[in-house]
Amino acid sequence: MHRRQFLGHSALAALLPLVGGASGAMAATAPAVAANTAGRLLPRPLQAGDTIGLVSPSAAVDERLSLQLAGEAMQALGFKVKTGEHYASRRGHLAGTDAERAGDLNAMFADPGVDGIVCVRGGSGAARLLPLLDYATIRANPKVLLGYSDITALHNALLSQAGLVSFHGPIGAGSWNEFNVDQFRRMFLQRELMVYRNVPSDAEDELVPRRNRTLTIRGGRARGELVGGNLTVLTALAGSPYLPEFAGRILFLEDVEEAPYRIDRMLTTLKLMGALDVIAGFIFGECTDCNPGAGYGSLTLDQIFDDHIRPLGIPAYRGAMIGHIKEQFIVPVGGQVEMDADAGTFRLLSPVFRGA
């Protein structure tokens, strides 16, 4: 789904204080969080037989079958399923009113019978919920939350306001292919210290694989806490207290159906707010269907990364299996990693679950 969220000059004027986290009156309500996983709030681990709560915090599904498939996928993974009261609702393109969607999410965190939360889909609208979430209850009941795309708004709010590590990865109604199921089991059930290395596809009739390839922007290694998600959703949080700190972090990004000029504009926003100047490393996933439209021409993505990322002098690469793709990594937002831009890999340095 296209997301067309434009940032006004007034929002840009408010950005600079946010590079270091929440500011002003809102900062007083946000917890102090250390810059490493040991200082983060870790969710309880999952095990087979647990109950997964399915919620729809963003857009409504196109067909009811998607809801059925999401539930069946969780059951096939070995879980019981509890659905949010309004997860099948619709108000315009949204899965219910803001109060209904936020209420479902708050209820899942508060419910002692729910062990983890999976978002049915992304789309648009999660950012509308951020002032309505009960962060005190979330801090008191840290649980796994899984989703991507528009769920980026929730990941960043949970990290900045509750210090909670959450997980950027497949949605409930998405593809649960062999790769994604393997990622889920290794992350949540076996609780591995994951190594994220692309699996090149050799399904095509090519001498060398062309899909799932990484490309080094600038070589080197870096360590830091992962922050980021969908580029459009992340930059739309500019001027709000819901962005995490960027200093010393590894920034990961992805996007879909955005023309290169828009990618350039959003990276420019991150540059103007000071975020790019303080990160320790940069990982870009896939920019799916990010093709230039008709007109006088377009910068290429290579040129855009050369303009914005290469001059930073930090380890950086693109092509990680993150984003709007069938096979995707499950990435802990707030987890400590080491990245190797020459190899096109990153790995977890410490557990991201309580007691692991």
d(CA 122, CA 164): 20
254 flagged as catalytic? yes
Write the CA distances from 354 to 46, 141, 307, integer angstroms. Answer: 10, 12, 41
* Catalytic status, residue 166: no
Which of 301, 286, 280, 308 shows the shortest CA–CA distance to 220? Answer: 280
The active-site residue out of 149, 160, 166, 240 is: 149
* Helices and strands of the chain, counted as H and E runs: 10, 14
Task: Supply 279's token pair.
Answer: 């990160």
By three-state DSSP, how is residue 223 classified? strand
Distances (CA, A) of 167 to 4, 89, 156, 310: 24, 24, 11, 28
Q: What does 182-213 look like in DSSP terms, one character per residue?
A: HHHIIIIIS----EEE---B--SS-SS--BS-
Do the strands 51-55 and 116-119 form a parallel or antiparallel pair, or are they unpaired? parallel
* 252 neighbors 331 (Cβ within 8 angstroms): yes
Task: Give me the catalytic one of 86, 155, 308, 324.
Answer: 324
Measured in whole angstroms, how far is the alpha carbon of residue 103 from the centre of its chain? 21
β-bridge partners, 348: 337
Question: Has 324 been annotated as catalytic?
Answer: yes
Q: Which of 100, 225, 245, 254 is catalytic?
A: 254
CB 234 within 8 A of CB 267: no
The secondary structure of residue 330, as a DSSP letter, is -
Give the other-Cβ count within 10 Å of 197's Cβ: 16
Q: Evaluate whether 161 touches 242 at the Cβ level (below 8 Å).
A: yes
Residues marked as catalytic: 149, 254, 324
